[in-house]
Structure 1
Amino acid sequence: MKNILLLSNDALLSRLFLTGTKKFNLQTIISSDLEQALNTIRKGDCSAIVINIPVLAERCPKKIVRQIQETNPYLPVYVLMDQMDISEAISLTKMGVEYCYSRPFALEQIIENIDKTLQNLPAASHSGIKKIATESYREQSNRPKYIYAKSQQAKELYDQIDKVADTNFKVVIYGETGTGKESVARRLCKGKIQE
Structure 2
Amino acid sequence: MKKILVVDNQISNCELLKKLLSRNNYEVETISQGNLALNIIDKGKFDIIISEYRLPDLAGAVFFEKVLKSHPAISMIFMSRDFNLKNVVDLIKRGAFNYLSKPLNPDELLEAVRDCSKPHDSQVQKISASEKQAKLPENGTCNEFGFVVGKSKEALEMISQIKRVGTTNFTVIIEGETGTGKEAVARHIHKISNRSDKPFVAVDCGSLSKEIAGSELFGHEKGAFTGAISKKTGLFELANGGTIFLDEIANLSLETQMALLRALQEKVIRKIGGVNEVPIDVRVIAATNEDLIVKSGAICFREDLFFRLSEFILKVPTLKERISDLPLFIDYFLKQTSEELGIEKPQLSEEVKDIFYNYEWPGNIRELKNIIRRSCLFIEKDNFIYKDALPHGLLATAVTRKLNGKSEIKTESQSVNRESVDPDLKSAARRAELTRIMEVLQKVNFNKTKAAEILNIHRKTLYSKLKVLR
- The question of a shared fold, defined as TM-score above 0.5 by the shorter chain, is answered with yes
Give 2:39's aligned residue.
Answer: 39
What fraction of aligned residue pairs are identical, expressed as a percent? 18
For residue 113 of structure 1, give the secondary structure of its aligned residue in structure 2.
helix
For residue 12 of structure 1, give the secondary structure of its aligned residue in structure 2.
helix
Give 1:18's aligned residue.
Answer: 18
For residue 54 of structure 1, give the secondary structure of its aligned residue in structure 2.
coil
Distance 1:69 1:89, change over 3 A: same
- Greater shift, 5-14 or 106-115, is seen at 106-115
Contact 1:80-1:100 at 8 Å conserved across structures: yes
Contact 2:33-2:57 at 8 Å conserved across structures: no
Mapped to 2, the partners of 1:113 and 1:53 lie a distance apart of 16
Give 1:65's aligned residue.
Answer: 64
Please say if 1:115 is aligned against 2:114: yes
Contact 1:51-1:78 at 8 Å conserved across structures: yes
Contact 1:8-1:55 at 8 Å conserved across structures: yes
Give 1:78's aligned residue.
Answer: 77
Mapped to 2, the partners of 1:73 and 1:2 lie a distance apart of 16
Structure 2: stretches of 5+ with no match in the other structure: 121-470
Mapped to 2, the partners of 1:107 and 1:68 lie a distance apart of 25
Mapped to 2, the partners of 1:49 and 1:69 lie a distance apart of 11
Contact 1:48-1:76 at 8 Å conserved across structures: yes
- Cα distance, 1:69 vs structure 2: 0.8
- Correspondence 1:162-173 to 2 at 5 A: none
Give 2:280's aligned residue.
Answer: none
- Cα distance, 1:44 vs structure 2: 4.0
- Greater shift, 61-70 or 89-98, is seen at 61-70
Mapped to 1, the partners of 2:22 and 2:68 lie a distance apart of 27
Mapped to 1, the partners of 2:27 and 2:83 lie a distance apart of 27
Q: Please give the per-residue CA displacement for 1:79-124, whole angstroms capped at 9, x wherever unaligned.
A: 0011122121001101111001122311332123212322x259xx
Mapped to 1, the partners of 2:114 and 2:26 lie a distance apart of 8
Give 1:180's aligned residue.
Answer: none
For residue 64 of structure 1, give the secondary structure of its aligned residue in structure 2.
helix
Distance 1:41 1:4, change over 3 A: same
- Cα distance, 1:31 vs structure 2: 1.1
Give 1:137's aligned residue.
Answer: none
Q: Cα RMSD over matched residues? A: 1.9
Q: Please give the per-residue CA displacement for 1:26-61, whole angstroms capped at 9, x wherever unaligned.
A: 011101122322222223421110111322233x32
Mapped to 1, the partners of 2:94 and 2:11 lie a distance apart of 28
Give 2:99's aligned residue.
Answer: 100
Aligned length: 120
Paired AA for residue 22 in structure 1:
S
- Correspondence 1:156-195 to 2 at 5 A: none
Contact 1:6-1:29 at 8 Å conserved across structures: yes
Give 2:27's aligned residue.
Answer: 27
Contact 1:38-1:71 at 8 Å conserved across structures: no
Give 2:5's aligned residue.
Answer: 5
Q: Larger relative CO (CA 8 A, sep 6+): 1 or 2?
A: 1
Mapped to 1, the partners of 2:24 and 2:119 lie a distance apart of 16
Contact 2:53-2:60 at 8 Å conserved across structures: yes
Mapped to 2, the partners of 1:71 and 1:31 lie a distance apart of 19
Contact 1:41-1:71 at 8 Å conserved across structures: no
Contact 2:35-2:57 at 8 Å conserved across structures: no
For residue 115 of structure 1, give the secondary structure of its aligned residue in structure 2.
helix
Larger radius of gyration: 2
TM-score of the aligned structures, taking structure 1 as reference length: 0.56
Mapped to 1, the partners of 2:79 and 2:101 lie a distance apart of 6
TM-score of the aligned structures, taking structure 2 as reference length: 0.24
